[in-house]
Structure 1
């Protein structure tokens, strides 16, 4: 074989995986749970419990981080010292807010979880602790503040709303059914009166020792507004996602009858993907594709400890509903549209 041709073949074989790697990414992206991603001015921001506190990332890419920093560390001996769960980062009225759940004590039982908010002028802080939300039934007296986790933000019709997973009343244990609640966000730290939005009533939403709906996330597509939620135990292979759809753009989000619940799960596990849920949704760098960012278990056992974060593309059907398809789980997929161009 001609030496020049041989050297060319060696070079091509050596660079082949690199070229392929530039066009694809591998799931899972990382170990973790309750993934949240938002897009702001062309950059993606994620947030999670890590590094001894809350960590924020920034990137031009959905598939990798470019900047990572711990932005807030819990205080000692406070209502929010422990059990930091499911933080989300939002940009509202020129400032950055992190909504999260926390507890006064470490570990189980998880009966003391409450929702709180942090505020900053930029996504990497410094953040100011703006305190605990009141998520009970009497916002005037703030009596019997109630269990609350997974708070997210809904912006609709010129108003802001908070949606979260909560209990109907206080308990001294955590084996309690969880429902979705909504309230108007009067300002970034204050809620109006809560409204019970949805309960786990369908057969596929039940089956564990508690019935729950949690991890609400907002998805908008044109004039359509959806609340995607997770149901069944997040520690099990039965974890799956359901959907609420606002009847019309003019509907009142505070009216439970204005939301239509999907009759069947909209995203669920397979024989090899052990549950899916607590997902957030965004678009590709060039805004031509929709992507779902979710967590799943790598093994049947291990409970919460073996959850990992995955990413895959989805579409919308002819009725305007999201079509998430079948979870790909551990896989190699084409990178989101527009990422490769940003990598050059």
Structure 2
């Protein structure tokens, strides 16, 4: 090495200047790109500073854990369905919930594969930690008579509301049994006697407004709970999930002291609260959470990549939202794919990680 080359080499390292490739490797990006992944019916829950998601993978359910909303740090398939059972096929919309020190996966399954989808029933799995092993706690009774359990009814998209020391299940179901799947779907609620047993179901809501109608069936499904200060909301999906018309409506509990089991305790939005547009199709089945530092609210939703493909081309997105002067969530316009600023607090965590590793 000649003297000039040696001088340049020494100067680079003494000044802390590194090759461009090294600088890029050390840089913490403050943006992420939507969509996050392929899939539908996204669910996310924040617990003790970490995010947990769940989705179908390899014929069963995969659970993820991360300190970040925008990427997974750990992923494992935690449960595979049994053979020749009521829940062997058509595994839909799993959710994972921490309740009283244990973890529960709520989901829908069927005794037969594919169409017609008339045998869907809600079930629950239990574990001591989010990655299992899980014990199958069986099928819920979601009909009208929990005493005799006669005529267990079609049910999907079960979620949990924890309010005033009580737990409630909310799901999408039928009013009666049918041997086909072109049946209207309504929202039902029941108190959870324990995490795997329901009390008597109550019809909570059904499609009645014009923007909730327009397909061969009318439906409300994918209920999700949003709690902000003293306000309690149920965001639900309506119109056909296979279409570009899928959108979100809202129920708001009149007051924190209102009885969630009384349908008159809930106020329905008069118009959609989140929907697609000319560039984003079929927005729906969303869940909500906060940024890692709790300074921002984010909606975790799915939409279709294009107008074709029915259920086969849906992807998962994140988008920040706020609240209006009356306390209602203000989701704004669906932005779909593209580059967005990362949720508040994520960059700081990653920078600290880099410092710790050096």
Between the aligned partners of 2:214 and 2:310, the Cα distance in structure 1 is 17
**Counterpart pick for 1:327 among 324, 331, 334:** 334
Three-state SS of the structure 1 residue aligned to 2:242 is: coil
Three-state SS of the structure 2 residue aligned to 1:303 is: coil
Q: Which residue of 2 aligns with 1:205?
A: 212
Q: Which residue of 1 aligns with 2:38?
A: 31
Q: Which residue of 2 aligns with 1:143?
A: 150
Does 1:252 find its partner at 2:241?
no
Q: How many angstroms does 1:241 deviate by?
A: 0.1
Three-state SS of the structure 2 residue aligned to 1:135 is: coil
Q: Which residue of 2 aligns with 1:191?
A: 198
Between the aligned partners of 1:36 and 1:51, the Cα distance in structure 2 is 18
- Structure 1 runs (4+) deviating above 6 angstroms are 7-10
Does 1:231 find its partner at 2:259?
no
Q: How many angstroms does 1:51 deviate by?
A: 1.8
Superposed counterparts of 1:52-131, under 5 Å: 52-131=59-138
> What does the per-residue CA deviation read over 1:246-304, in whole Å, with 9 as the maximum and x for residues that have no partner?
00011000000000000000000010001200000000000000000000000100000
Q: How many angstroms does 1:314 deviate by?
A: 0.3
Three-state SS of the structure 2 residue aligned to 1:343 is: helix
Greater mean alpha carbon deviation, residues 334-343 or residues 143-152: 334-343
Three-state SS of the structure 2 residue aligned to 1:250 is: coil
Between the aligned partners of 1:44 and 1:322, the Cα distance in structure 2 is 21
Does 1:301 find its partner at 2:270?
no
Q: How many angstroms does 1:343 deviate by?
A: 1.2
Between the aligned partners of 1:231 and 1:292, the Cα distance in structure 2 is 17
**Counterpart pick for 1:44 among 42, 51, 57:** 51
Three-state SS of the structure 2 residue aligned to 1:341 is: helix
Q: Which residue of 2 aligns with 1:180?
A: 187
With the length of structure 2 as denominator, give the TM-score of the two structures: 0.92
Superposed counterparts of 1:254-269, under 5 Å: 254-269=261-276
Between the aligned partners of 2:160 and 2:108, the Cα distance in structure 1 is 14
Aligned Cα root-mean-square deviation (Å): 1.8
Between the aligned partners of 1:206 and 1:11, the Cα distance in structure 2 is 59
> What does the per-residue CA deviation read over 1:185-231, in whole Å, with 9 as the maximum and x for residues that have no partner?
00011000000000010000000000000000000000000000000
Between the aligned partners of 2:126 and 2:18, the Cα distance in structure 1 is 54
Three-state SS of the structure 2 residue aligned to 1:233 is: coil
Structure 2: tracts of 5 or more residues without a match: 352-358
Between the aligned partners of 2:263 and 2:93, the Cα distance in structure 1 is 24
Q: How many angstroms does 1:123 deviate by?
A: 0.3
Between the aligned partners of 1:158 and 1:276, the Cα distance in structure 2 is 33
Between the aligned partners of 2:18 and 2:272, the Cα distance in structure 1 is 50
Three-state SS of the structure 2 residue aligned to 1:151 is: strand
With the length of structure 1 as denominator, give the TM-score of the two structures: 0.96
Number of aligned residue pairs: 341
Q: How many angstroms does 1:18 deviate by?
A: 7.6
Between the aligned partners of 1:9 and 1:93, the Cα distance in structure 2 is 53
Structure 1: tracts of 5 or more residues without a match: none
Go from structure 1 to structure 2 and tell me whether the alpha carbon gap of 1:302 and 1:9 turns closer, same or farther (over 3 Å shift).
farther
Between the aligned partners of 1:140 and 1:243, the Cα distance in structure 2 is 32
Greater mean alpha carbon deviation, residues 175-184 or residues 49-58: 49-58
